[in-house]
Amino acid sequence: MSRYSAVVVVPCLLTFSCIAVGAEATATRGTQGHGRVSMQGAIIDTACAIDAGSRDQTIELATIPVSRIVHDGQGPVRPFSIRLINCVLTSATLDKPDWRHFQMTFDGVPDGNNFRLDGVTQGVALQITDIYGNQAYPGTPLPVGDLQEGNMTLSYAMRLVGNHQLLQAGQYRTTVRFRLDYH
């Protein structure tokens, strides 16, 4: 064996033997009842928690012919909801009053009194209303609602509405954020 061969073979043997010993130690450790549990969460000082399924929603609106927007000035209503869970009316902070009401604010890029759409489509915007017909204006709170102990479902509706610009068919999208304030 040449001197070069011995130098290469010895480190390789050491590497493989360390791997084999390490694998054996891992296998032994795995049979000794070891494990790990990971968890995360949050403790919040608020009246309600927002259900995980309501926090980030993707809502598909129906395909609408341009003629419907031209004729009716709007598309069909698409209901959606935000579910509040574990609502308590008693504030955990002694110097704060108990919670009795909430106020919802929807925020996004404005298009007049509605929400702007991005994409190829032009001449329409997104309108959001609550179940009482109150229109949500970008960044402006809706009227105050009453809180209930336990779980609540807040119901809203959205639809496309004309924005007094030339209509152009095509794909669209938008992102609207919401915020709940408790009083």
The 10s digit of each residue's pLDDT in 103-126 is 999 999 999 999 999 999 999 999
Say if 5 falls within a structural domain. Answer: yes
Q: What is the pLDDT of residue 22?
A: 47
Q: 37-41, 48-52, 105-109: which range is least confident on average?
A: 37-41
Say if 108 falls within a structural domain. Answer: yes
pTM for the structure as a whole? 0.74
Whether residues 101 and 152 share a domain: the answer is yes
Residues forming beta bridges with residue 85, ordered by sequence position: 49
Whether residues 149 and 115 share a domain: the answer is yes
Whether residues 18 and 55 share a domain: the answer is no
Structure tokens at 13: 């043997």
| Cα dihedral sign, 90-92-97-99 | negative
In total, how many domains does the chain have? 2
Whether residues 116 and 147 share a domain: the answer is yes
Domain span holding position 15: 1-39
* CATH number of the domain residue 64 falls in: 2.60.40.1090
Whether residues 57 and 12 share a domain: the answer is no
Q: Please report which confidence band the pLDDT of residue 174 belongs to, taking 50, 70 and 90 as the band edges.
A: very high
Whether residues 33 and 57 share a domain: the answer is no
Cα separation, 88 vs 183, whole angstroms? 12
Whether residues 136 and 66 share a domain: the answer is yes
Say if 86 falls within a structural domain. Answer: yes
Say if 167 falls within a structural domain. Answer: yes
Extended beta strands in the chain, E state: 49-50, 78-87, 101-107, 110-111, 114-115, 118-119, 124-130, 135-136, 145-146, 150-162, 172-173, 177-182
82, 54 Cβ separation under 8 angstroms: yes
Whether residues 118 and 28 share a domain: the answer is no
Whether residues 24 and 106 share a domain: the answer is no
Whether residues 60 and 34 share a domain: the answer is no
Does position 28 have pLDDT exceeding 80, yes or no?
Answer: no
Whether residues 5 and 69 share a domain: the answer is no
Average pLDDT over residues 35-56: 80
Say if 44 falls within a structural domain. Answer: no
Alpha-carbon dihedral 139, 144, 88, 37, rounded to 10 degrees: -20
Structure tokens at 145: 């609602």
**What is the helix (H) or strand (E) element at residue 10, kind and residue range?**
helix 3-30
Average pLDDT over residues 129-136: 98
Whether residues 23 and 55 share a domain: the answer is no
Average pLDDT over residues 63-87: 94
